Amino acid sequence: MGKPSLFDEINNYLLLFYALTCFIIYFTLSGMLYISGYITAILILPGIVAIVLPLVLLSSRISSSFSETYRLDNPQPAVLGLVILASVCITLPADAIAGFFEQFKANDSDYISFLLAIKPKGFLSFLAVAFGIVIVAPFSEELLFRGFIQRIMQRNMSAKLAVLLSGLLFGLAHFDLTLMPATALIGIFFGYLFVKTGNLFYPFSAHAAYNLISLLRLHFSSEADLKKESVYSPPWLWVAVSVGLLIYLVYLLENQPEERSSGKEDGTL
C-alpha cells in the first residue's frame, strides 16, 4: 500500500472549511493591503501567506511530501509545450467572452484604477509585478482550486462535475460577474489539464503563460488606452482561428501517453 494521502486522512468537509478559511484570509489581507496602498504587495503576500503556507502546513501533518500531496511532478517537455500553446490559444476566446459581458457593466472605473496601479513603471517594478502575476498568483490559485478543492470534489462526484464546479468557483472567486464567464471557462480548462495529466505543474504552467500574456499586454498599453471606456473585442476571425487551434491541441493532448492521472484515483473525465 502507498502512503495515505491528505484526502484519505482528513474529512472532506473539514478540508473544504479549511479551503474557505484560506480564501477569506486571502481576500481580507488583499483588502487591507489595497486600502493601505501597498498595491504590488497585493500580488504577492496574500497568495503566499493565506494559501501556500497554510497548505504547506496542512501537508506536513501527513507522511507524504508537499509535492506528492498536491501532485507536483516533473513535466514531460512535449506535453508542457502543448499545454502552454493551448493556454495561449484560449486567450482570445476568453477576451471575446469577457468583452461581450463587459458591455453590460455600468462602471469599470475601479478595475481600470487597479490596472493603472499595478502597471509596471520600470524594470524593477516589472520584475516585482511579474513575480506576483506570473508565479505567485498562478501557483497559489492552482494549488487551492485544482490541487485542493477539485481533488476534494472528485472524491464525492465524477471528475467532469468536479472540474465544472471548481471552474465555476474559480470564476466566482474573482468577484466580477461580467468577467465570471471568461474566468470560469479558463478555470474549467485548467481543471481539465489537471484531470488529464494528474500533474498540477501543467495547469500551473498554463495559468502562468496566460497571466504572462495579460501582463505583457498591460505593460505595453498606454495609460490613455487603459482609461478608454470602450470595450475591447478581438477580431472574430482570430477568435475562430484560436478556437480551432485550441481544439486541435486538446486532441493532441488526448493522444499523449498517459502520465499519472488524477481521474484514475478520484473519478474519470
Residue 224 has a pLDDT of 80
Q: How far apart are CA 199 and CA 265, in angstroms?
A: 13
Q: How far apart are CA 132 and CA 145, in angstroms?
A: 18
**For every one of its 269 residues, what pLDDT tens digit does the chain have, with 9 covering 90 and above?**
456 677 877 888 899 999 999 999 999 999 999 899 898 899 999 999 999 999 999 988 876 788 988 999 999 999 999 999 999 999 999 999 988 887 777 666 777 788 888 898 889 999 999 999 999 999 999 999 999 999 999 988 899 999 999 999 999 988 777 889 999 999 999 999 999 999 999 999 999 999 999 999 999 988 887 777 566 778 899 999 999 999 999 999 998 877 655 544 444 44
Q: How far apart are CA 52 and CA 49, in angstroms?
A: 6
Q: Measured between alpha carbons, how far is residue 87 from residues 54, 68, 209 in Å?
A: 28, 25, 7
Residue 267 has a pLDDT of 47
H/E stretch holding 38 reads none
Residue 259 has a pLDDT of 67
Residue 262 has a pLDDT of 52
Phi, psi torsion values for 2, nearest 5 degrees: -80, 175
Domain boundaries, the chain: 72-266
Give the number of other CB atoms < 10 A from CB of residue 267: 19
Provide the sign of the torsion angle of the four alpha carbons 123, 129, 133, 134, taken in this order.
positive
Give the number of other CB atoms < 10 A from CB of residue 27: 13
